[in-house]
Amino acid sequence: MKLIILSLMFIATWLGAFGSLYLKKGSGKVSRNLLSFLNINLFIGIFLYLLSTGFYIYLLQNTDLTILYPLTSMTYIWVMILSKFKLSETINKSKMISICLIILGIVVIMQ
């Protein structure tokens, strides 16, 4: 059961991370013109967030919140990786330490 929960949460957090990436890309095209909100990147980002939320709601029905909520921190890891490769953002030493601590926390919570 733990492997299923972790796998579904893995998918949900990846969807959320990709949603953030597309929202970031789409937000750069938004201006005072209301039609600027009608761009494909914003729509994809919102769709991915909704899909991620669907997974999360399913998991909430079948998992303790005290286990599930800490697992959402995986999103930070995926966002950092995507930002590095898709947005050319830098990953410094403190961000790497943060990733290690998140992974350690996930290992502990899943025991």
Q: What is the pTM for the complete model shown?
A: 0.84
Residue ranges in the chain modelled with pLDDT below 50:
none
Amino acid at site 70: P
pLDDT value at residue 1: 67
Q: Any idea which residue has 């697992």 for tokens?
A: 71
Could you write out the DSSP letters of every residue in the chain? Answer: -HHHHHHHHHHHHHHHHHHHHHHHHHHTT--SSGGGG--HHHHHHHHHHHHHHHHHHHHHHHS-HHHHHHHTTHHHHHHHHHHHHHS-----HHHHHHHHHHHHHHHHHT-
Mean pLDDT of the chain: 90
pLDDT value at residue 6: 87
